[in-house]
Structure 1
Amino acid sequence: MVCVAFCRPEIPQNVGAILRICACFDVKAEFIGPFSFLWSDKYLNRSAMDYKKIAEYEIRPSWGEFIKRRGKGRIIATAARKGIAYHEFKFENSDTLLLGSESVGLGELEISYSDSIVNVPISQRARSLNVHVCAAIVLSEALRQTDALPHPSS
């Protein structure tokens, strides 16, 4: 199953939003430190709401720990202006979508471990999308391609 990994998050509200997205799509999330906030921060709890209790997630204190503990499958990095458009990419069921920190994105180390880089095409007038919006867009396409979108009961 596709999963989402968020590297060096700086804003707890984005972590909360990604927890909520992953809970809604039945997708595992991994959060890779160091963090710029306390995990128990009230802003994290406010944005994650009760989804924090139902989301499947792991906390990795460092990139090395993430690499050591990760399963098989490709790492697909997301970037603001690099790589290919997400809708032109062929996702696989075992892919990990890798998100970078809000201020600087992914570093050279994380990119060097990535099998591919995808982006969400946006207007040249805009700087970037919020990281959790990007995650939702790319994750939705990855789940659509791998036929893993949840099917709501009638």
Structure 2
Amino acid sequence: MTSIVLVHPEIPGNTGAVGRTCVALDMELVLIHPLGFVITDTRLKRSGLDYWQHIRLAEFASWEAFLAERAPREDQLFLFEEYAPRSFYEPVYPDDAYLVFGKETKGLPQPIVEAHHDRMVCLPMRSDKVRSLNLANTVAAAAYQAIRPSS
């Protein structure tokens, strides 16, 4: 099963919308603490609408705790950053991929980027007037690309 991993998300509405996408695509939502909100925040549940109870949710105290428990293979990890050298269209995503996204204001922590720099991908932008997309929009685009049947 493909998993969406949010590292230190800050905005409850984005996380709620990502959770709704996870339910729609039968994906797991993994949250890496610290979070910028409490999991009981009404804004989180409002964005996830009535779907929050259907989310397969896993929480970890830190990135290190996630790595220790899940022990993902390197080929399972796809880190999304606006400055990544390759497009998210290039990889072939395994069925058990982890699509990893950083917090809305700063992206992924530098130590994570440095440890997995060869696993970074970006959503290509056609305009130089936009630096990045909203987290929930980026996750949705990435999730659909990851489950796209190969031709």
Q: Determine the C-alpha separation between the residues in 2 that align with 1:98 and 1:80.
A: 13
Q: Determine the C-alpha separation between the residues in 2 that align with 1:28 and 1:146.
A: 22
TM-score after normalising by structure 2: 0.90
The share of aligned pairs that are identical, in percent, is 28
- Alignment of 1:142 with 2:133, yes or no, is no
- Alignment of 1:88 with 2:105, yes or no, is no
Instruction: Give the one of 90, 113, 116 matched to 2:119.
Output: 116
Q: Return structure 1 stretches of 4+ with deviation > 4 angstroms.
A: none
When the two structures are aligned, how many residues end up with a matched partner? Answer: 147
Match of 1:49 in 2: 49
Match of 1:69 in 2: 69
Retained in 2: the 8 A contact 1:78–1:119? Answer: yes
Aligned-pair Cα RMSD in Å: 1.6
TM-score after normalising by structure 1: 0.88
Match of 1:7 in 2: 7
Once the two structures are TM-superposed, the CA of residue 12 in structure 1 deviates from its matched residue by 0.3
Bigger drift between 61-70 and 129-138 goes to 61-70
Compared CA separation, residues 146 and 39, structure 1 to 2 (3 A): farther
Retained in 2: the 8 A contact 1:18–1:135? Answer: yes
Compared CA separation, residues 47 and 128, structure 1 to 2 (3 A): same
Match of 1:129 in 2: 133
| Structure 1 residues 45-72: Cα deviation after superposition (integer angstroms, max 9, x where no partner) | 1111221111111111211211112143
What is the letter of the counterpart of residue 27 of structure 1? M
- Structure 2: segments with no counterpart, 5+ residues: none
Compared CA separation, residues 134 and 41, structure 1 to 2 (3 A): same
Secondary structure of 2:140's partner?
helix
